[in-house]
């Protein structure tokens, strides 16, 4: 899942699955061992405060600074795989809701 747009970068947020763990830009583990199970992901981007908050299954897991004001949009799905990984990748999404204040 990604939030595109930032003052000096392409994105404000990237959540990546690496070796079964959901990670913030490939660094901080947000949720471990997410293969073959549903997780509820909620992301709040408070543009005014410059903060992004990530919740997994209702629990707050990470609060980070965004990367500056821009025009924002999000997308989700499979974008690629790490070198040497499987040729089969899949993500499933349901019940997507977008709220704007």
Q: Could you list the beta-strand ranges (E) of the chain.
A: 2-4, 11-18, 21-24, 28-31, 41-46, 51-56, 59-65, 73-75
Within a domain: 92: no
Range of the structural domain that residue 55 is part of: 2-75
Within a domain: 40: yes
pLDDT, position 85: 67
pLDDT by residue, tens only, the chain of 101 residues: 888 889 888 889 999 888 889 999 888 999 999 988 999 999 999 999 999 999 999 999 999 999 888 888 788 888 766 666 666 778 888 998 888 87
Q: How many domains does the chain have?
A: 1
Within a domain: 34: yes
């Amino acid at each position: 899942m990604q939030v595109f747009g930032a003052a000096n970068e392409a994105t404000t947020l990237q959540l990546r699955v690496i070796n079964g763990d959901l990670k913030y830009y490939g660094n901080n583990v947000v949720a471990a061992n997410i293969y073959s199970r549903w997780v509820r992901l909620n992301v709040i981007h408070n543009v005014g405060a410059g903060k992004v908050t990530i919740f997994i299954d209702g629990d707050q897991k990470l609060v980070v600074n965004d990367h500056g004001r821009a025009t924002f949009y999000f997308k989700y799905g499979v974008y690629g795989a790490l070198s040497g990984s499987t040729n089969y990748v899949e993500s499933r999404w349901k019940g997507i809701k977008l709220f704007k204040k």
